[in-house]
Amino acid sequence: IDIKDIDRAIRTALQPAIAHACEHAPHTDPAVLLAGCTPAIADAIRSPSELRPNRVELASVRWFLSPWYSVEVENPAMHAAPSPISRAIIRERFDFAASHRLNVPTLTPEQNRAAFGKCNNPSGHGHNYQFEPAVRVPLDGSFTLSDLEAAAAAAILSRFDHTHLNLDTDEFAEGKGVNPSVENIAAVFFRRLDERLKTSHPEVELVALTVWETDRTCATFER
């Protein structure tokens, strides 16, 4: 398959629907609009041609409504028992600032310095972190972006933003918690947000959570 085939499918099946919604129904839920167009996109990509005799399958379509917020709809044909599209995955990226020190108590000071370098500085060091949960939600409007923002604020931001992770939180305290590496932060954040959502919104499912320590370093914890 050529990138031009994908481009043609999107321009044919999705862009006119977006333009129509912007003009005539500006309050349309983007997830609902995307779900309505996904079968047509899949058909356009799947259609064989002389140069593409073998059929290919669309896995999903992800629409970035901003650099920090996106909606993804999976192609139901990818599942063993296809059914009408009733759910979407929404993602939003959040900022928080924190300090940490990478240090393993069972290692010697020399071993810690060899393993973590400057990140083992006894006074710690800081990052402007970002994290992005991916939540599978129903298309009935029962869970919105505002609900995700409230859950993220309650489960993560209120507890970890502007803290020294090793000194101010039990999750990363030496002798109590885990070393605050980016992969451990992603795991802790996933479990806290997952617990919050199961309590407040059992109709949704946290699929994954990614934490960026820098713009080049990140870790994702998946269900």
Q: Is the pLDDT of residue 2 over 90?
A: no
Mean pLDDT computed over every residue of the chain? 93
Strand bridging mode 125-138 / 94-100: antiparallel
Clarify whether 132 is annotated catalytic.
no
CA-CA-CA-CA torsion sign (61, 64, 68, 71): negative
Beta-carbon count within 10 A of 48 CB: 10
Beta-carbon count within 10 A of 113 CB: 15
**Active-site entry in 72, 74, 132, 213:** 213
**What local confidence, expressed as pLDDT, does residue 109 receive?**
95
The type of residue at 33 is L
* Residue (of 130, 101, 149, 153) closest to 212 by Cα position: 130
Residues 6+ apart with CB under 8 A from 33: 17, 18, 21
Tokens of 209: 């959570």
Tens-digit pLDDT profile for residues 78-131: 776 677 899 999 999 999 999 999 999 999 999 999 999 999 999 999 999 999
Residues 6+ apart with CB under 8 A from 114: none
CB 127 within 8 A of CB 92: no
CB 63 within 8 A of CB 33: no
**Active-site entry in 22, 57, 149, 162:** 162
Clarify whether 213 is annotated catalytic.
yes
Share of the chain above pLDDT 90, in %: 86
- 3-state SS of 57-100 is CCCEEEEECCCCEEEEEECHHHCCCCCCCCEEEEEECEEEEEEE
Q: Is the pLDDT of residue 50 over 80?
A: no
DSSP labels for 34-53?
HHHHHHHHHHHHH---SS--
Clarify whether 100 is annotated catalytic.
no
